[in-house]
Amino acid sequence: MSKNMYLLLADFVVIIHFLFITVVVFGGLLAIKWRKMIRIHLPFLIWGIFIELSGWICPLTPLEIWLRRQAEVDIYQGGFISYYLVPIIYPSGLTTNIQWLIAAGLIFLNVFVYAYIFWLRPKSRVTKAMRDKNKNS
């Protein structure tokens, strides 16, 4: 495989990693509108919290690094993806305490989101329409 292909695959892994993180952080909010999103979001969220609390490295990280090494480029050098996305995914100064804070933030946010979805959310439009119809009868 060519060096450019390895580099392209490494960039693709970064994009997938970024999208995964985006779903972990914002998937619960999407689930407010689209309940089926819960099936995708909850496993992503559990994995994201596990990674943050355990101190493990997401498998996408070593894959990306391996692909960049195969392309024989310095890690995180050049390009839009490396310049803009990599610092979001791999912030400098990330410590165990910061990872615990990230996990706590994810838990806190999603407890409220799922409490809203399951207990506080207004009933469906169909239920509301039926209730309104009964009032008018």
CA–CA separation, 29 vs 40, rounded Å? 12
Q: Is 103 left (phi over 0), alpha (psi -120 to 50) or beta?
A: alpha
Distance CA 60, CA 36 (A): 25
Q: How far apart are CA 91 and CA 53, in angstroms?
A: 17
Take residue 120 and report the two structure tokens written for it.
């506080």
Predicted confidence (pLDDT) at residue 111 exceeds the cutoff of 80: yes
To the nearest 10 degrees (0 to 180), the angle between helices 3-33 and 60-70 is: 160
Q: Which sign, positive or negative, has the C-alpha torsion 104, 110, 115, 120? A: positive
Residue 125 has pLDDT above 60, yes or no: no
Query: Which residues have CB under 8 Å from 55's CB, separation 6+?
Result: 96, 99
User: Is 80 exceeded by the pLDDT of residue 67?
Assistant: yes
Task: Read off the pLDDT of residues 20-65 as tens digits, 9 standing for 90 and up.
Answer: 999 999 999 999 989 899 999 999 999 989 988 887 888 888 898 8
Would the pTM of this model clear 0.75, i.e. be above it?
no
- For 105, half-sphere exposure in the C-beta direction (CA atoms, 13 angstrom radius) is 10
* Average model confidence (pLDDT) across the chain: 83
